[in-house]
Structure 1
Amino acid sequence: MRPPTATFVGLRARTLLAAAPLVFFVVWATTHLVSVTNAFSASTNQLAFAWLISFLLLWWVSLAWFERPFRATADQQHELDQLTVTVQIPVYNEDEAALRACLRSVLDQSRPVDRIRVVDDGSMDPATGRGQTYRRVRRSFLAEAAARGAEASWDRTENRGKRWAQMHVLAHDDADIFVTLDSDSVLDAHAVREGLKPFADPGVKSVAGLVAVLNTRANVLTRMICLLYLPFTRGLRSAQSVLRRVTINSGTLAFYRADVIRRHAGVYENETFRGRPMQMNDDSMLTMYALLEGDTVHQPSAIVFTLAPERLRHYIRQQMRWMRGTTVRHFWWLRYMPVMGVVFVTTVAEYLHIALSVLIPVALVVGAAREDRLGEVLLITLVIALVMHYLMALRLFTLRRSDDTWRFTVGLFVLSPLVAVWRVVVLRPMYLYALATCWRISSWGTRDSVEVRASGG
């Protein structure tokens, strides 16, 4: 399986794309403020006020366009080249072809890494009921790493969860930078080189990579997931990066100052919530450690491709795990982050947005029905909602991929409102359920056997 190549679009192209949402937001906010001031009816007041609040709570939609890839001067690049970089890859019931592609992509980096630490967290072969050894993959990987001068190790441990697999090697590794990489992900050839550049600033403690779906064309679900991931991977995270307050690095690809991680060895693996071991949402916990010590950013030119779920059951389990884990992390942010800081304020705003997403539609419908204007209000609300989702979907065009034609990308963009319906009908009720059941936490929580297989080898 050979990964595609990808490029984050240049400043001129991003400016052209950003012009539409920025102009829309200005015009939209102005006209609605005017309608509030010169209201003709109660329902008009309600509609204008509701969408004004929605605009403020979706602050990240416009701010994301101000993100720029971090660059390094010649002197800074020389210093970055001297850093010792360790890549850690936890493995659990992974498809062999996907794992082989992941390891190959690490070895093929334009900026070679110094160490690669693979830890198999007790994978099992469902066909035999015995341990999955990955013997051929392991042998060829270690031989290739030795041939390229990279220090490599492959350990197998008892099944204790992803965090234990990570810290099995990172707790004692003396590298300068740790890179966490999921075993079902494939790096762009320049991912490590680009991901290190933000560390030219001593204040930066962690860097998130840009996550793209590898198997986009597999079926309807993976196409939909490509759009469902978009608001976070190229929206909220990009906006947070402008403020240097990224809250969640995807475990798919993230970079950390190694001393930040080592200082929390022993604590990280033993996190509990309501007396139960907390193994999920490992990436947000590591990001939180970095947030407590400095800046956390996103590097859109450090690109990684990941296998998305191809079956609905797998996708639902993944989302429920993420939602519950993020809910737990919200408690930690509200407890440990500065009250007037970006993370605390935006977390409160998120819950306000959830509440308003339920209360506002009800208030609009009741008010419009009372004035016999229900059809008008629903139509205006639908139009604005569609425009908002198209504005978010514009972020599709910030990444040029070798495996995606212009026609395919435009097709995804056109269908984005259908994904919005999925969010409202399926994901929003799931999220509310996850809020109420966040204490139901598990270890890996995604697979007892291989869930997604890579094509080719």
Structure 2
Amino acid sequence: MNRRSAGLIVLALALLAVAFLWLEAGTIPWYGLTLVSLFGIKIGFSWRAIDRKAATEPEIAQLASFRVGTAIPVYNEDPELLARCLESLLAQTRLPESIAVIDDCSNDSAAIDVARAMKPAFEAAGVRLLIRQMPVNRGKREALITALDMQPDIDTMLCVDSDTVLLETAVERLLPAFLDDDTHAATGLVLPLNFDKNLLTRLTDVRYANAFLFERAAYSSLGSVLCCCGSLAIYRAALMRKYRDDFLGQTFLGQPAVFGDDRRLTNYALLEGQAKFQSTSVAFTAVPERLGHYARQQVRWSKSFFRESIWAVGHLPTKRPAFWLSAVELASWVVFSLALVISLIVMPVVVGQLLIVPLLLYVMLLAYARSARYFEVTGLHRTKSDVFIGFAIAPLYGVFHVTVLVWLRIYALATLNRGSWGTRKQVEVRAHQPIIQASSGSE
């Protein structure tokens, strides 16, 4: 049985279980029906998505002509992780023309010293390795634009987080998205590097796989990926130059916008045209191993979700799918959050009835349905047993979402006027995995 067939069977069983719950209850809740319908449409579009590839000699020549620059912002990074990041770039089947490593005034120079030591290796490969240390901490946006300014002759900007390790074919398989002139940004499949560290990282692994193979794949079939992941994203350099002043000067509720750079850049791409997902371009990134670190990250991401979704609804043309996808994401979050509050607080007070049990049943069943494509990560630094464990605990992520993540997002909404980064003050995740190499599972 292939991975897609296994996913289809899981999807069918999960949806049949939901239908059985409705049959037993003797009613079909409007919210549940809407949720399942949207889910069915999304999973259908996710399987419809196809990676762009060079099919003709002129297209192959066009890819070869692209001058690819790279931006790697660094801030209080583990030196070993940065070394692995740079080594993975040096091993690419399609090398970038240049790489700019921007240290945003870290507490020490250990990581940037690693980059300096690797300069001869990059020079030998014909890649310019540019290094800049900022005199004061200015944030990731400033680091990205500094990298752009240091590479004035590039056509595309590859953005890679300093704790990310790329499969050797990542750049080669990401770049073809730009064969379509209307595509201005693209992202690849990003999975946790340290997925097997503890329960939190395994749950994060399931979430990442779903976020890319389910959500981004579905939106990519409409040319409307709403967020190109900062761990592995590529933009047309002309796009970044056009919007550089707005990017650096963006404010929200009177505060400088210091996070959400990946969503903002993606919004610019959607304003100009399309943003795509290339599933065979793969990278692995270090994810939080402690709940406190994870919570800060989620609050930061949630704030950028609200801010940039509101911007998208207010600025994207209504004829673009991205406008409607942004509106639906905002509306569905509001409705789901209200349903949760009603189930946990209103119903027990008003009628003495606690509805959390049926809600959790729906959440757990849909967690399995959402994970129908998780089997496709087998071989990507994951054995069959790793994938089985991840799939088995998928409902736990659904429960975690309801009991923790929704409330973190509500907190983020309530504190939108606070501009704090919430970023690390010191190294929080250290390398403990071997160097990632390409595998047969990357196809």
TM-score (normalizing by structure 1): 0.86
Q: 1:439 Cα deviation (Å)?
A: 1.8
The 5 Å alignment of 1:236-275 reads: 236-275=215-254
Aligned to 1:147: 124
- In the alignment, structure 1 residue 74 sits paired with structure 2 residue 52: no
The verdict on how the C-alpha distance between 1:120 and 1:360 changes in structure 2, with shifts beyond 3 A counting, is closer
**Residue deviations 1:209-235, cap 9 Å, x none?**
111000011122211211233332322
**Residue deviations 1:159-218, cap 9 Å, x none?**
111111111131362211110000000111000000011111112111111110000111
Q: Which moved more, 1:400-409 or 1:362-371?
A: 362-371
Question: Structure 2 residue aligned with 1:223, among 168, 182, 202?
Answer: 202
**Residue deviations 1:22-54, cap 9 Å, x none?**
68659967997xx7xxxx9xx744x43232111
Runs of 5+ unmatched residues, structure 2: 436-443
Aligned to 2:35: 54
Aligned to 1:412: 390
Q: 1:338 Cα deviation (Å)?
A: 2.1
Q: 1:402 Cα deviation (Å)?
A: 5.0
- In the alignment, structure 1 residue 446 sits paired with structure 2 residue 423: yes
Runs of 5+ unmatched residues, structure 1: 1-9, 126-131
Q: Distance in 1 between matches of 2:305 and 2:341?
A: 27
Q: Which moved more, 1:377-386 or 1:51-60?
A: 377-386
The verdict on how the C-alpha distance between 1:242 and 1:30 changes in structure 2, with shifts beyond 3 A counting, is farther
- Does structure 2 retain, via aligned residues, the 8 Å contact 1:21–1:62? no
Q: Distance in 1 between matches of 2:248 and 2:166?
A: 26
- In the alignment, structure 1 residue 295 sits paired with structure 2 residue 274: yes
Aligned to 2:366: 388
The verdict on how the C-alpha distance between 1:28 and 1:65 changes in structure 2, with shifts beyond 3 A counting, is farther
* AA of the residue aligned to 1:14: R
Other structure's SS at 2:195 match: coil
Q: 1:297 Cα deviation (Å)?
A: 0.5
Aligned to 1:7: none
- Does structure 2 retain, via aligned residues, the 8 Å contact 1:234–1:395? yes
Q: 1:438 Cα deviation (Å)?
A: 1.3
Q: Over the residues paired in the alignment, what is the CA RMSD in angstroms?
A: 3.0
* AA of the residue aligned to 2:4: R
- In the alignment, structure 1 residue 428 sits paired with structure 2 residue 410: no
Aligned to 2:86: 103
Q: Distance in 1 between matches of 2:365 and 2:76?
A: 42
Aligned to 1:4: none
The verdict on how the C-alpha distance between 1:371 and 1:434 changes in structure 2, with shifts beyond 3 A counting, is closer
Q: Which moved more, 1:345-354 or 1:357-366?
A: 357-366
* AA of the residue aligned to 2:49: E
The 5 Å alignment of 1:45-444 reads: 45=27, 47-58=28-39, 59-75=41-57, 76-125=59-108, 132=109, 134=111, 136-158=113-135, 159-171=137-149, 173-360=152-339, 382-401=360-379, 403-443=381-421
- Does structure 2 retain, via aligned residues, the 8 Å contact 1:120–1:157? yes
The verdict on how the C-alpha distance between 1:135 and 1:414 changes in structure 2, with shifts beyond 3 A counting, is closer
Q: Distance in 1 between matches of 2:239 and 2:56?
A: 26
> Percent identity between the aligned chains?
31
* AA of the residue aligned to 2:106: S
Aligned to 2:438: none
- Does structure 1 retain, via aligned residues, the 8 Å contact 2:116–2:131? no
The verdict on how the C-alpha distance between 1:284 and 1:351 changes in structure 2, with shifts beyond 3 A counting, is closer
Q: Distance in 1 between matches of 2:303 and 2:110?
A: 31
Q: Distance in 2 between matches of 1:370 and 1:327?
A: 31
* AA of the residue aligned to 1:309: P
Other structure's SS at 2:93 match: coil
- Does structure 1 retain, via aligned residues, the 8 Å contact 2:191–2:283? yes
Q: Distance in 2 between matches of 1:386 and 1:94?
A: 36
Would you say how many aligned residue pairs link Structure 1 and Structure 2? 429
The verdict on how the C-alpha distance between 1:272 and 1:382 changes in structure 2, with shifts beyond 3 A counting, is closer
The verdict on how the C-alpha distance between 1:450 and 1:51 changes in structure 2, with shifts beyond 3 A counting, is same
- Does structure 2 retain, via aligned residues, the 8 Å contact 1:18–1:65? no
Other structure's SS at 1:90 match: strand
Aligned to 1:5: none
- Does structure 2 retain, via aligned residues, the 8 Å contact 1:80–1:196? yes
Aligned to 2:439: none
* AA of the residue aligned to 2:122: A
The verdict on how the C-alpha distance between 1:175 and 1:56 changes in structure 2, with shifts beyond 3 A counting, is same
The 5 Å alignment of 1:20-39 reads: 20-21=10-11
- Does structure 1 retain, via aligned residues, the 8 Å contact 2:78–2:111? no
* AA of the residue aligned to 1:329: E
The verdict on how the C-alpha distance between 1:309 and 1:383 changes in structure 2, with shifts beyond 3 A counting, is closer
Other structure's SS at 2:132 match: strand
- Does structure 2 retain, via aligned residues, the 8 Å contact 1:260–1:290? yes
Q: Distance in 2 between matches of 1:447 and 1:241?
A: 32
- Decide which structure has the larger Cα Rg and report it: 1
